[in-house]
Amino acid sequence: MSIINQFYQALQSGNNLEAVAQAAMQMHVSYPIEDIHGLDAVQTDYWQVLNTAMPDIERKAYIEFSSEYQGHDWIAATGYFVGTFTHDLLGIKPTQKSLYLRFTELVQLEQGKVANYYIILDFIDVMNQAGVNPLRKSLGHDGLIMPPSTMDGLYPAQESAAQAKESEQLVMAMLDELGRFDGQSLQSMHLDKFWRPDFMWYGPAGIGTTRGIEGFRRDHQGPFVFSFPDRVVDHKATVVKRGNYVSTGGWPHMHGSHLVGGWLGFPPCGKNLELRVIDIWRRQDSLLVENWVGIDIIHMCKQMGLDVFAMMQDTFYVK
């Protein structure tokens, strides 16, 4: 059993949490849960929130792998918390049906225990499932996110350290290419050098899933880069790599000024926003073929002066 599954087993039972997590562990959760310090707070301010909403909650990762980064052991993972949505979740009213709460996470270990835990929970997708999303419909496909086409995402095989390094170099070169946007044409970023034509980009609710370079440009990249023309990716972000898989992410991972309207249908707010982003990439041969993306969109909206949870309440629950 992985250390993260042991962590959740201990949270569920309320026993021996200190055996798998540092007493002073810090948890960084997407808005509105935010930063949590210490095991007692993790239990009450994070786990009880999820477990109360879904008493039969179960963590189902379909990608999880680890590596060393800057002297620490890190784990990257994505998948769903699955359970019956029987009680209120942060003001979202229960459906009494199965709920799939998507997560994307980076976890730092110290002495074999969880020390820092970064997790993006897709609460907009929960709103979609409950029929109360106040934002416009995603341009891309909304719905369940697929596991890797190769079905090898749980601690994938690694031929050698060189294989993981090659995957990392490809991702970093691709990120550099994304930084070459000339402000005029999406063609100035030559993604065909890095992505296979049938590339799958599994975006968060609000953006959705896209297929191929043109689908990505139409449904996400175009609206985003023109709305945030000075966006900068933080290359100091954490990098986890194993075999053909690479994860990059940070808290924040990107900054950009919202200067033009179009992204998610919002008018420009003129503010410089920080973006919490966690990506997981899969390489096949010399090209990238799949990308699972967690973005704390509700936190971005909050920086724009928009409270998505308040908008949800005003729109759907207040008569």
Per-residue model confidence as pLDDT tens digits over 113-129: 999 999 999 999 999 99
Q: Taking the CB of residue 115, how many other CB atoms lie within 10 A of it?
A: 17
Instruction: Outline where the chain has alpha helix (H).
Output: 3-13, 39-41, 48-53, 123-130, 161-178, 212-216, 222-227, 297-303, 308-312
Residue 319 confidence (pLDDT): 35
Residue 81 confidence (pLDDT): 98
Give SS3 for 83: strand
Selected residue with higher pLDDT from 91 and 265: 91
Tell me how far apart the alpha carbons of residues 15 and 252 are, in angstroms, rounded to a whole number: 33
Residue 318 confidence (pLDDT): 43
Mean pLDDT over 72-88 rounds to 98
Tell me how far apart the alpha carbons of residues 235 and 237 are, in angstroms, rounded to a whole number: 5
Encode pLDDT of 148-168 as tens digits: 999 999 999 999 999 999 999
Domains of the chain: 3-130 (3.10.450.50), 161-317 (3.10.450.50)
Encode pLDDT of 265-290 as tens digits: 889 999 999 999 999 999 999 999 99
Cα distance from N-terminal residue to C-terminal residue, the chain = 48
Residue 235 confidence (pLDDT): 62
Structure pTM? 0.95
Tell me how far apart the alpha carbons of residues 198 and 289 are, in angstroms, rounded to a whole number: 7
Encode pLDDT of 179-236 as tens digits: 888 888 898 989 999 999 999 999 999 999 999 999 999 999 999 999 999 988 876 6
Tell me how far apart the alpha carbons of residues 304 and 102 are, in angstroms, rounded to a whole number: 24
Q: With beta carbons less than 8 A apart as the criterion, state whether 280 and 245 touch.
A: yes
Q: In angstroms, how far apart are the furthest CA atoms of the chain?
A: 61
**Strand ranges (DSSP E) for 91-165?**
98-110, 113-121
